[in-house]
Structure 1
Amino acid sequence: MTRRTYVLDLLVVLLFALAGRASHDRGVDPLGVLETGWPFLVGTAVGWIAAAFVPRPMRSWWLEGIVVAVSALVVGMLLRWSMGEGTALPFVLVATGVLVVGLVGWRAVEAALARRA
């Protein structure tokens, strides 16, 4: 993974936290966004580590994206649950959609642009 990968993944997760806070009128101050997003940021980092263990012949942009997205979601929700934060089904479904589309989506766009070049 490149530095760009890490930055874009972090941006996706932070925008997810920002949007969630904004939609629930919780304020969008940077510390509040970090407070909301930290479980998913930890999960994203776990995903980066897990993706590094995928054997080279199997590595691809989409598999990397799925590994990072699933890790961000599962670890993030487990951390939220362990802290007594909400993990209601509608939130889990929205988080699943946003994280998968965001973390796999930017990779898909990048892969498509690379093929065109």
Structure 2
Amino acid sequence: MNHPRTATTSPATSPAPSRTGRSRAMLLALDVVLIILFAALGRDTHQHGLNPAGILVTASPFLVACLAGWLLLRRRLSPASLWPGGVILWLITVVAGLGIRALFGGGVALSFAVVTLCVLGAFLLIPRLAADLLARRNH
């Protein structure tokens, strides 16, 4: 008895992720790496040590805030674009990250908040600016 074949997609034949999807995933991964670098640089500057657990504890409020920002923005704005998604993501990462840090007893002195705003601004926005410039150049 012949049964109609049902279309199944095997991993080998499934469609590849779109270039945009891969670009966003790479940018999200870069955001994570740069936030961890921000924490490592801060810990090194203040002689708190560069042990991985300590770096992750320092980075965690900003990582949580950044990931939440990606989730919040992904439906309406592209967090991978410079404007307005990237700028809003940067501000969410800084403000929510500082808030989470304060809730768990971490320091949020004005000087730390200003440094956080500036460094994470550079770390989160410069890659988006470069990607936007490259995309415009290629079109």
TM-score by length of 2: 0.76
| 1:83 aligned residue | 104
2:63 maps to which of 9, 30, 41: 41
The aligned runs of 1:9-88 (5 Å cut-off) are 9-54=31-76, 60-88=81-109
CA distance in structure 2 between the partners assigned to 1:62 and 1:50 by the alignment:
16
Q: How many residues align?
A: 115
Structure 1 runs (4+) greater than 3 angstroms displaced: none
| 1:106 aligned residue | 127
Which stretches in structure 2 are left out of the alignment for 5+ residues? 1-20
- Structure 2 residue 5 is the aligned partner of structure 1 residue 5: no
CA distance in structure 1 between the partners assigned to 2:43 and 2:56 by the alignment:
11
1:25 is aligned with what amino acid? Q
**RMSD of equivalent CA atoms:** 1.7
CA distance in structure 1 between the partners assigned to 2:85 and 2:33 by the alignment:
17
TM-score by length of 1: 0.89
Contact kept, 8 Å, 1:62 with 1:108, in 2: the verdict is: no
Structure number having the greater helix percentage: 1
Which stretches in structure 1 are left out of the alignment for 5+ residues? none
